[in-house]
Amino acid sequence: MLSRLRKLPLVLAAPAAALALAGCGSSHTRISTGTYAGEAGASAPYLYVGPLIYEVQISRELNPANSEDASYLQGLTPAERKLEPGQEWFAVFMQVYNETSKPHRASDDFSITDTQENRYTPIVPGESNPFAYRAGEVPANNQIPLPDTIADDDPAQGLVQLYKIEIASLDNRPLEIKIVDPEDPSQTASAELDV
């Protein structure tokens, strides 16, 4: 009887360990859809598009009167900066990882849609904006923003994509971002954004 009681903790521990390992998921699983950052497992926002991995750090409305938010809008022309009635700025902060041994071009084909199929594309500010997401090569075994750059050290820890969206779209949530691979347009991924 005593030997059976000693084995009981091992018998109970085995299913618990199996459940814990099952929750971890596989690092080799390629995810092309998901929900917003902060969730774990298959819903995590590490989106595989072609050879690169895209991660939405955060998405939120911007207030041009706020000094931090104004810095994300620098480099826009006066025409680009102007909002029409019923519009507001919306930002998506993103990191892109290249875990391969050669450089790959990051996507320049992004869009956000709401549940009513209203579609928005990003506005890319001029070169004077160090936070702006710009399509270009992601070095081998590296990421953008590059480590130790102003965008990497920023609280959002990502390059910003700027969108002018209709305020009404915030009522038509969830908003969804779609990413298309520049090397193979059949490779896409999408994720819901937090607002």
What domains does the chain contain, in order, with CATH numbers? Answer: 26-193 (2.60.40.10)
pTM for the complete prediction? 0.79
User: Which residues sit opposite 193 in a β-bridge?
Assistant: 175
Please give the single-letter amino acid code of residue 142.
N
Dist CA 41 CA 105 (whole Å): 27
Q: Is 144 exposed, middle or buried (0-12, 13-18, 19+ CB in 10 A)?
A: buried
Instruction: Tell me how far CA of residue 175 lies from CA of 10, 44, 86, 137, 167, in angstroms.
Output: 47, 16, 17, 27, 12
Write out the H or E segment, with its range, that includes residue 34.
strand 33-34
Q: pLDDT of the chain along its 195 residues, tens only?
A: 444 444 444 444 444 433 333 333 334 445 556 554 434 444 446 899 999 999 998 999 999 999 999 999 999 999 999 999 999 999 999 999 999 999 999 999 999 999 999 999 999 999 999 999 999 999 999 999 999 999 999 988 899 999 999 999 999 989 999 999 999 999 999 988 876
Dist CA 28 CA 47 (whole Å): 12
147 close to 176: Cβ distance less than 8 angstroms:
no
Dist CA 54 CA 33 (whole Å): 11
Dist CA 122 CA 112 (whole Å): 9
